[in-house]
Structure 1
Amino acid sequence: MRQPPSVITTFSREIDNILTYKFTDGGGHHNVHKHTDFLIRWEGDPREAATWHHEKDL
């Protein structure tokens, strides 16, 4: 019996615009800034469909 074909689960999208950003602290003892989150509008999507993403994921 043959294996079913592999399904590609990753895709790339182009950023249309960064609408805003926010700094997120790391919590803990020093409340140190750990990363920045960006509200991303993706190419071809309406503004209402914008999503938040960590800077390290972009």
Structure 2
Amino acid sequence: RLCREIVQSDILSFGTSLNLLEVRFQRNAIEVLQEALEAFLVGYLEDCNINAIYAKRVII
């Protein structure tokens, strides 16, 4: 759903006559995006946790 919203906003910002229904995503593309997002979030939350420990906080 998020991928479609991003593509839709890009299509509208470029002002093209391309219809969103014409845009399709391959399963592999969605899987790659999911893997990349998971890796990013894990790294981000690990960094947040390290910073919280350094600041002697319990909640990030």
Q: Per residue, is there more helix in 1 or in 2? A: 2
Q: Which has the higher contact order (CA 8 A, sep 6+)?
A: 1
Q: Per residue, is there more strand in 1 or in 2? A: 1
Same fold, TM-score > 0.5, yes or no:
no
Q: Provide TM-score, normalisation by structure 2.
A: 0.23
Determine which structure has more spread, i.e. the larger CA radius of gyration: 2
